Amino acid sequence: MKRKLLKQIGNEWRSNVWLGVELLIVSVVMWFITDNLYTAISTLNEPLGFNTDHCYLIKYALLNEQSPEFIPDKSNSDNNADFLTLMDRLEKRPEIECVAAGQNSYFYNGSNSNTYMATDTFSSSGYLLRRLVSPDFPRVFRIRGANGETSEQLSELLKEPRAFLISDNAFKEKYNLDHMGAFIGKEFSNHAYGDTLVLKAAYETARYNDFQAAEWSTSMMSLCPEGHYIDALNELMVRVRDNMDTDFIENLMKDADSHFRIGNLYIASVQSFDDIRHIHQRDNVTGMRTFFAGAAFLALNIFLGLLGTFWFRTRMRISEIAIRKANGATRSDIFRRVISEGEIILLVITPLAILFDWLIVHFEFNTYYHGAYFEPSRFIACVVIAWAFMALMILLGILIPANRAMKIAPAKALMGE
- Torsion angles phi and psi, residue 276, rounded to 5: -60, -45
Beta bridge partners of 199: 164
Q: Are 7 and 344 in contact (CB under 8 A)?
A: no
E strand spans, 5-156: 55-62, 96-103, 114-115, 117-119, 122-123, 128-133
**Do the strands 219-223 and 163-167 form a parallel or antiparallel pair, or are they unpaired?**
antiparallel
At residue 96's C-alpha, the angle toward residues 262 and 105, to 5°, is 80
Backbone angles phi, psi at 80, to 5 degrees: -65, -40
Q: Note the pLDDT of residue 387.
A: 92
Mean pLDDT of the chain: 87
Alpha-carbon gap, residue 296 to 314, rounded angstroms: 26
The pLDDT score that the predictor gives to residue 5 is 53
Yes or no: say if 239 and 97 are a contact pair by the CB < 8 Å rule.
Answer: yes
Q: Taking 50 as the threshold, does the pLDDT of residue 192 lie above it?
A: yes
Higher-scoring residue by pLDDT: 131, 389: 131
Residues forming beta bridges with residue 344, ordered by sequence position: none
The 8-class DSSP code of residue 215 comes to G
Residue 223, C-beta contacts closer than 8 angstroms, at least 6 positions apart: 133, 134, 135, 158, 159, 160, 163, 164
Q: Give this prediction's pTM.
A: 0.83
* Distance in angstroms (rounded) separating the CA atoms of residues 360 and 362: 6
pLDDT at 1: 47
DSSP 133: E
The confidence band for 343, taking pLDDT boundaries of 50, 70 and 90, is confident
What pLDDT digit, counting tens, does each position of 258-311 carry? Answer: 889 999 999 999 999 999 999 999 999 999 899 889 888 887 887 787 777 777
| Greater model confidence, 302 or 239 | 239
Other C-beta atoms lying within 10 Å of the C-beta of residue 369: 19
